[in-house]
Structure 1
Amino acid sequence: MWIKAVLTTGVSALALAGCGGDSGPRTGQMMAPAHLSASNYRAFGVPAHFGDTDPHEWEGLTPAHYPVHGIDAARYQGHINWPEANAAGVNFAWLKATEGGDWVDPGFQANAQAARAAGVPVGGYHFYYFCRTPEEQANWYIRNVPRVAGDLPPVLDIEWNHQSRTCQRTPDPATVQAEMRRFLEIVTQHYGARPVIYTTPDFYEENALVSLNGYEFWLRSVAAHPAERYPGEQWSFWQYTGTGVVPGVGGTVDINTFAGSPDAWMNWLATRRL
C-alpha cells in the first residue's frame, strides 16, 4: 500500500552521518560519541522525547504531527542503547551497512543484532558509489547483509557525494536511473522485497526520480515538509533532521518519521518485513 505507484495518502555536518556521509572505502573502529540529553535540546515540531541541536523553525505540518518515528545511524553513533531508544519512541532503524563495492560499516553488525534483541525493527542501507557498477554494489550488499526474517527491507541511499575523494563521476539522468534499476532488481530478487529509495531534493530533481515508479521513497527534507521539496511525490519515510538528539544514542543522529498512523505502520510492517 505504500508503493509509489499506488500510494494515495502521505500526509537528512552530521546529517550525512546516517544516510551517506562517507566519501570512500576506509577502515576503522566504531566511535564512542558523548551522549547528549534530549531535555537540553527541546525543539518545536520535534517529538517530546527527542531533541535537536540545530532545530528548524517548522511551520504548518511538523514532524511531531506524525506518530511513528525512527532513526538511521552509522558507526558515528557508536553502540546504541536500543532498549532506551525504543522506550523514548524509536520504532524503527536503518543502519548503514555497505558503500560501493568494498566498504562495510563497522557499526552495522553489532547495532543490528542489538536492535533485534530489543524488538526494534531494523534494516541495512547501501550508500551508492558512482564509480562502481550496480552489479558490484548489489552483490557487495548481498554478501554483507544477511536476509534475517523480520528485518526491514533493504534501502538504496543514492545522492550526490561532492566530497568524495575518489569518485567525481556524475552520470546523466538516464544513466542514473538505469543503474538504480539494475541495483534494485538484483537486490529485490535476492531478498524477495523491493528496496526503499532514500534520496535528497537536489538528486531527486536533477535525475527526474518522479518518473521512477514502483518503489517507496524515503525523502530527506530538513527545512520544509516533503510536500514543499518534492511537490506531488508520495513518500513512506521523511528524514526531518540530521542533528537530532535521541535517548540511548551517542552524539547527534538522523531522525525520521513514517507517513501514516500506528495502525498503518503495523500494516506496513506486516507486508514489508523480510
Structure 2
Amino acid sequence: MPRLRVLALLSALALSACGAPQLSVPVGDVTAANFGDRKPFDWPGQSPDRYAVHGIDVARFQQPLNWGEARVSGVNFAFIKATEGGDLLDPMFQNHWEGAGRAGVARGAYHFYYFCTTPEKQARWFIENVPKTAGMLPPVLDLEWNPFSPTCTLRPPADTVRRNAQTFLSILRAHYGQQPVVYTTPEFYAQNDMGRLRGVEFWLRSTAAHPSEKYPDERWTFWQYTSTGRVPGAAGDIDINVYAGSPSSWDNWLSRRQVR
C-alpha cells in the first residue's frame, strides 16, 4: 500500500528557497495536495478535496515546471499533451514528459482529436511521437468540439464520432497494450451519446459541479475540476484533476493500467 505523505507548506517553501531542487518521489507514493485556485469555486456537497490523489494536465501553454516541487506538493499524476490531428506535435511535450518522469510523477500522453483527419492517420501520428514506455499511464483521447480552429469546425454526426473514436482507440490499444482513457466535456458527452462507448474509462471535465451531476449514471476515473489552479513549481493557471479512489486503489489501478 502506498504511503500518504502529508507535507507541510513550510517544508515546501524551504525546499523552494534552497534552489528549488528537482526532487523525486517514487511513483505510487501519494503526496497530499498543497494547491490554490485563482478563481476558487464554493463546492456544494461533493468537493474535490474529499479525494486523496490529485494531479495535473499540461500542454504548450505551461512553461517548464519544477516537477520536483510539484511532486512533493501533491502532483501524483500528469496527463501531457503530445499530439493534435495528424501533423501537430506539442512543442513542450518532451520537456514536460522528461521532467515528470524524473520527479516520479505517473505520466501519460494525450491526443487532441481533429475531426477533419482520419482516425487512422491520427493514431499513427500519436504512435510516431509517443514511444511505448514501461510504466507510462494509458494513452488518452481528448474528444471535444473546437469552435476556434482556423481550419476545421466540422461536427460529424454522433454515430460517426463514436465509430471513429473506436477506431482510434483500437489502434492505440493494440500498440500500447492498454485501453486508452477518454477525456471529454459535458456538451460533447451529451451531444454524441458518449456513454455508448464500451470498455473505456473516462476522464471528465466539470468545473462547477460534481461529475455525477453533469454526467448522470456515468462512471469516471479522473475528474478535471478546475482550469485556474495554482500549483507549486508551475507558473500561472493550470488544470487540476483528481483520481476517483483512495491511495490504496490508486496503487492497484497503477499496477493494472501502466503500460508494460
Q: Smaller-chain TM-score range?
A: 0.7 to 0.9
The match for 1:126 among 107, 111, 117 is 111
> Is structure 2 residue 175 aligned with structure 1 residue 224?
no
Contact 2:108 2:139 in 1 (8 A): yes
Q: Deviations over 1:212-240 (max 9, x none)?
A: 11000000000000000000000000000
Q: CA deviation at 1:171?
A: 0.3
| Secondary structure in 1 matching 2:76 | strand
> Is structure 2 residue 76 aligned with structure 1 residue 91?
yes
2:152 alignment partner in structure 1: 167
1:267 alignment partner in structure 2: 252
Instruction: For 2:237 and 2:153, locate their aligned partners in 1 and report how far apart those are by CA, in whole Å.
Output: 28
Q: CA deviation at 1:118?
A: 0.9
1:177 alignment partner in structure 2: 162
| Secondary structure in 1 matching 2:78 | strand
1:154 alignment partner in structure 2: 139
What amino acid is aligned across from residue 197 of structure 1 in structure 2?
A: V
2:93 alignment partner in structure 1: 108
1:186 alignment partner in structure 2: 171
1:237 alignment partner in structure 2: 222
1:79 alignment partner in structure 2: 64
Gaps of 5+ in 1: 1-46
| Secondary structure in 1 matching 2:79 | strand
Instruction: For 2:78 and 2:154, locate their aligned partners in 1 and report how far apart those are by CA, in whole Å.
Output: 30
What amino acid is aligned across from residue 152 of structure 1 in structure 2?
A: L
Q: CA deviation at 1:49?
A: 1.1
What amino acid is aligned across from residue 182 of structure 2 in structure 1?
A: I
Q: CA deviation at 1:48?
A: 5.9
> Is structure 2 residue 128 aligned with structure 1 residue 143?
yes
Q: Deviations over 1:124-157 (max 9, x none)?
A: 1000000000000000000000011011110000
What amino acid is aligned across from residue 203 of structure 1 in structure 2?
A: F
1:14 alignment partner in structure 2: none
What amino acid is aligned across from residue 194 of structure 2 in structure 1?
A: L
Q: CA deviation at 1:199?
A: 0.1
Question: Alpha carbons of 1:48 and 1:191: their partners in 2 closer, same or farther (altered >3 Å)?
Answer: closer
What amino acid is aligned across from residue 251 of structure 2 in structure 1?
A: M
Instruction: For 1:195 and 1:134, locate their aligned partners in 2 and report how far apart those are by CA, in whole Å.
Output: 14
> Is structure 2 residue 240 aligned with structure 1 residue 255?
yes
| Secondary structure in 2 matching 1:244 | strand
Instruction: For 1:122 and 1:107, locate their aligned partners in 2 and report how far apart those are by CA, in whole Å.
Output: 14
Instruction: For 2:218 and 2:181, locate their aligned partners in 1 and report how far apart those are by CA, in whole Å.
Output: 14
The match for 2:46 among 61, 64, 75 is 61
| Secondary structure in 2 matching 1:255 | strand
Q: CA deviation at 1:211?
A: 1.1
Question: Alpha carbons of 1:244 and 1:142: their partners in 2 closer, same or farther (altered >3 Å)?
Answer: same
Contact 2:33 2:73 in 1 (8 A): no
Instruction: For 1:84 and 1:205, locate their aligned partners in 2 and report how far apart those are by CA, in whole Å.
Output: 38
Q: CA deviation at 1:200?
A: 0.1
| Secondary structure in 2 matching 1:141 | helix
| Percentage of pairs with the same residue | 57
Instruction: For 1:258 and 1:127, locate their aligned partners in 2 and report how far apart those are by CA, in whole Å.
Output: 21
Tell me the number of residue pairs that the alignment of Structure 1 and Structure 2 aligns.
Answer: 228
User: How high is the TM-score relative to the length of structure 1?
Assistant: 0.82
CA RMSD of aligned residues (A): 0.9
Instruction: For 1:198 and 1:231, locate their aligned partners in 2 and report how far apart those are by CA, in whole Å.
Output: 16
Gaps of 5+ in 2: 1-31
Runs of 4+ more than 6 Å apart: none
